[in-house]
């Protein structure tokens, strides 16, 4: 006889999954971590499309001091040495100070020293060709670089001094009007910063190349070069997440193997189930890569979750005594409601949540296909014979139906007693609390303006041929500069606001605006172009980055100011975008939970044809959702990091409640399947809670608790259905 259709389908499914798995085994995806992986910034997206200057937001910081920690900028010899090191580094030819990397190269380097040299050169002076500061500073420029007659190079040198020297530095010639400063003295500091931009022939750029380069610079000079700043911290969090994944995945596999062997008492079933789980995970990775999906390290959280969900079908086919048809209905309903709950994250404004949801949904669906169409008969054949249970042998549920409403009330109380508020989305949510790097970042913020402040990016549409539009822009700039949140240096005579980008003009003529726009240490070209034609401009403001509420209000004020001046544009930057997303999440989190419950209700109604069953599943799912949201706040802080766990937890709740809403055939065997799957999944998530990567750690903690909340609530619901004929299937 020829092979049956079901046999051909099994071979086809297995073949496809194996084909998808093979590339992953030899070339796993290179998951990365950056703000671009966490959220979409409309300003950055526009700059990528229309700006010639791609160095706006991805600068790295190098902190430089002498080995003896003594004076740096006041020591003329040391200044010349550092200028020489900088020049050789920029040359990109192989030397003791070049960046040696196969794919990464130095794209741009800005330092206060080179900006000073450029400023002096406009007055026919040169640090390189002088023997002392006295030679360079004579004759004295009484107004320094902050006077009305300062040229663009001198203004640039002033900005570099304010941004890349410690806040407490005597800035000397940069602005003699400051207390203690003098036009006859150079800026004085014991350390300075470099701003560095890297590029690569292979994207994304491996920022860790900066570590090796700084080590090389330090070894070949008498100076200490130390990589610093937020972008390097994202690379550190990426490393931590990858280490976690490599450590925890084998542990979760061992846990799954041990628990399934304990529950099933069948080595063959255990090996096949674990093998199927690994096959599904690998197939999911390659399947999404085929469609161009770029993985982030946050997506790695989905892998142990998929592994935990995957054992569900094995328990119901193997350990319950329900018929094949009944188990099929249970698992289909559970899969559909789980996917329905998680699918709400696909519409999240947070890119990381969308990606995580996509990976989980793909894994859950593929696992259901494998279990239903390939492993079903294998599990049923391995099932031990169990006696037929008559209704009178059940644990009577009528007297315990009160457990269901009591369980719901308990979950509502957890939510009601949780502290309010949402944490701001920033780098601190992606590194362990005891990380030395966070302490170093805190120190850097205490010392430097560019570290303590946050860069706010504002893109505005500009029509060069429309004088009204130019006047609107100039009016916006004059009003914007008065905002108190913008960091400024006030000497009592002049006030230097840290605003870069498109300049000012007393004329509505666009050419005058272009003429008054100069390069800066952060931004070379502020103009936005479409097919070579200028269509907009970029304004950069540096504001206090320590007060998130104040930063959020600044973005709101700026948005209103843009509208009041009849302009159109976007506001972006790491902090303000992260705060805006956190505020949006805070305002919509309950709506999101209710929406997920509604989707579950619709899906369950369509599949069960029973409103009573569907409404109970939906209500229970919502109750678990608000409880998990409350637990997140109880456990250390509700935030965007914990938001995926809420929807995932609702997915598990929908899963277990769907099981419990089906007709009871054996209290003992059904509960064994339900609790066996829950204990196995919960233990896997408990293992994930030992991660160092905070998003994985918080997700593991919340889901391990959520699993047991869900199975407890499902058990309460099972009492409702255990002897209720009216709600049983035909």
CATH number, domain with residue 455:
3.30.70
Enter the tokens of residue 571.
């506001």
Average pLDDT over residues 123-128: 91
pLDDT of residue 729: 40
How far apart (Å, rounded) are the C-alpha atoms in residues 308 and 3?
33
Q: What does DSSP assign to residue 34?
A: S
Measured from the Cβ of residue 1, the count of other Cβ atoms closer than 10 Å reads 3
| Assigned domain for 190 exists | yes
| Assigned domain for 200 exists | yes
Tens of pLDDT, residues 465-487? 898 999 999 999 989 988 888 87
List C-alpha distances in Å: 531 to 463, 515, 528.
Answer: 14, 22, 10
| Assigned domain for 614 exists | no
Burial state string for 660-691 with b = 16 or more CB within 10 A and e = fewer than 16: bbbbbbbbebbbbbbbbbbbbbbbbbbbbbeb
Is the predicted pLDDT of residue 121 greater than 80, yes or no?
A: yes
Of the CA atoms within 13 Å of residue 280, those in its CB half-sphere come to: 31
CB-CB contact of 53 with 524 (8 Å): yes
> In the chain, what percentage of residues exceed pLDDT 70?
91
Tens of pLDDT, residues 338-381? 888 888 888 887 888 888 889 999 999 999 999 989 998 898 88
Enter the tokens of residue 234.
């994202």
pLDDT of residue 450: 76
pLDDT of residue 636: 73
Is the predicted pLDDT of residue 43 greater than 90, yes or no?
A: no
Weakest mean pLDDT among 130-134, 146-150, 639-643: 639-643
Average pLDDT over residues 631-650: 79
Q: What does DSSP assign to residue 486?
A: B
| Assigned domain for 63 exists | yes
279 or 229, greater pLDDT: 279
Domain termination site, one of 228, 249, 264? 228
How far apart (Å, rounded) are the C-alpha atoms in residues 213 and 31?
23
pLDDT category at 662 given cuts 50, 70, 90 is low
The torsion angle over the Cα atoms of residues 295, 296, 300 and 303, rounded to 10 degrees, is -30
pLDDT category at 391 given cuts 50, 70, 90 is very low
| Assigned domain for 650 exists | no
Domain termination site, one of 558, 578, 598? 578
How far apart (Å, rounded) are the C-alpha atoms in residues 464 and 535?
8
Is the predicted pLDDT of residue 387 greater than 50, yes or no?
A: no
CB-CB contact of 499 with 539 (8 Å): yes
| Assigned domain for 248 exists | no
List C-alpha distances in Å: 28 to 17, 23, 252, 295.
Answer: 16, 7, 19, 10
Domain termination site, one of 578, 603, 635? 578
| Assigned domain for 323 exists | no
The mean pLDDT value of the chain amounts to: 83
Structural domain boundaries, residue 483: 445-578
Is the predicted pLDDT of residue 559 greater than 90, yes or no?
A: yes
Pairing state between β 191-200 and 60-66:
antiparallel
Q: Structural domain tally of the chain?
A: 2
Measured from the Cβ of residue 438, the count of other Cβ atoms closer than 10 Å reads 16
| Assigned domain for 112 exists | yes
């Amino acid at each position: 006889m020829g092979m049956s259709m079901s046999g051909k389908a099994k071979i086809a499914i297995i073949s496809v999954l194996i084909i998808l798995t093979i590339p992953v085994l030899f070339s796993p995806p290179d998951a990365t971590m950056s703000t671009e992986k966490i959220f979409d910034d409309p300003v950055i997206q526009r700059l990528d499309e229309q700006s010639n200057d791609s160095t706006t937001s991805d600068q790295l910081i190098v902190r430089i001091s002498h080995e003896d920690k003594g004076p740096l900028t006041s020591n003329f010899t040391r200044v010349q040495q550092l200028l020489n090191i900088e020049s050789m580094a920029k040359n990109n030819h192989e030397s003791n100070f070049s960046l040696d990397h196969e794919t990464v190269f130095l794209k741009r380097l800005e330092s206060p020293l080179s900006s000073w040299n450029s400023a002096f050169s406009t007055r026919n002076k040169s640090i390189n060709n002088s023997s002392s500061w006295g030679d360079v500073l004579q004759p004295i420029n009484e107004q320094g670089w902050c006077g009305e007659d300062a040229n663009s190079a001198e203004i640039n040198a002033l900005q570099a001094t304010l941004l890349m020297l410690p806040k407490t530095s005597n800035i000397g010639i940069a602005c003699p009007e400051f207390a203690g400063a003098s036009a006859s003295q150079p800026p004085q500091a014991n350390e300075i910063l470099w701003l560095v931009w890297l590029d690569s022939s292979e994207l994304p750029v491996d920022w860790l190349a900066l570590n090796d380069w700084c080590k090389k610079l330090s070894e070949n000079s008498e100076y200490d070069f130390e990589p610093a700043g937020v972008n390097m911290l994202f690379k550190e969090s990426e490393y931590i997440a990858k280490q976690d994944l490599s450590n925890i995945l084998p542990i979760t596999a061992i846990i799954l193997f041990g628990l399934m062997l304990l529950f099933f008492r069948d080595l063959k079933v255990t090996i096949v189930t674990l093998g199927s789980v690994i096959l599904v995970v690998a197939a999911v990775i390659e399947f999404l890569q085929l469609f161009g999906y770029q993985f982030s390290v946050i997506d790695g959280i989905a892998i142990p979750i998929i592994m935990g969900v995957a054992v569900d079908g094995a328990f119901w086919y193997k350990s319950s005594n329900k018929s094949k048809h009944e188990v099929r209905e249970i698992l289909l309903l559970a899969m559909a409601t789980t996917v329905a709950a998680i699918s709400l994250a696909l519409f999240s404004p947070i890119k990381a949540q969308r990606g995580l949801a996509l990976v989980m949904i793909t894994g859950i669906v593929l696992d259901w296909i494998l279990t239903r169409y390939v492993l079903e008969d294998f599990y049923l054949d391995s099932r031990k014979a169990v006696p037929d249970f008559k209704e009178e042998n059940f644990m009577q549920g009528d007297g315990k139906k009160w457990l269901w409403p009591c369980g719901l009330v308990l979950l509502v109380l957890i939510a009601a007693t949780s502290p309010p508020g949402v944490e701001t989305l920033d780098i601190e949510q992606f590194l362990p609390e005891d990380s030395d790097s966070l302490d170093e970042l805190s120190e850097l913020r205490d010392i430097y303006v560019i570290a303590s402040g946050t860069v706010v990016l504002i893109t505005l549409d500009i029509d060069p041929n429309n004088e009204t539009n130019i006047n609107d822009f100039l009016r916006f700039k004059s009003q914007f500069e008065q905002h108190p949140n913008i960091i400024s240096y006030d000497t009592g005579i002049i006030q230097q606001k840290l605003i870069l980008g498109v300049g000012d003009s007393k004329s509505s003529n666009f050419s005058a605006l272009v003429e008054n726009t100069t390069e800066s240490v952060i931004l070379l070209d502020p103009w936005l172009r479409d097919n070579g034609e200028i269509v907009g401009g970029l304004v950069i403001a540096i504001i206090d980055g320590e007060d998130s509420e104040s930063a959020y209000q600044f973005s709101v004020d700026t948005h209103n100011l843009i509208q009041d001046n009849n302009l159109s544009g976007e506001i972006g930057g790491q902090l303000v975008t992260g705060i805006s997303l956190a505020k949006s999440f805070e305002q919509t989190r309950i709506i999101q939970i209710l929406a997920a419950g509604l989707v579950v209700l619709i899906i369950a109604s369509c599949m069960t044809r029973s409103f009573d069953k569907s409404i109970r599943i939906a209500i229970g799912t919502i109750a678990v959702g608000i409880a998990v949201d409350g637990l997140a706040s109880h456990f250390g802080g509700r935030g965007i990091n914990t938001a995926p766990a809420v929807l995932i937890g609702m997915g598990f709740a929908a899963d277990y409640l769907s099981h419990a809403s089906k007709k009871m055939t054996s209290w003992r065997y059904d509960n064994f399947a339900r609790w066996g799957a829950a204990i196995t999944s919960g233990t896997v998530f408990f293992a994930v809670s030992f991660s160092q990567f905070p998003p994985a750690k918080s997700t593991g903690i919340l889901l391990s608790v959520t699993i047991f909340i869900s199975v407890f609530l499902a058990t309460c619901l099972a009492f409702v259905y255990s002897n209720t004929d009216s709600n049983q299937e035909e």
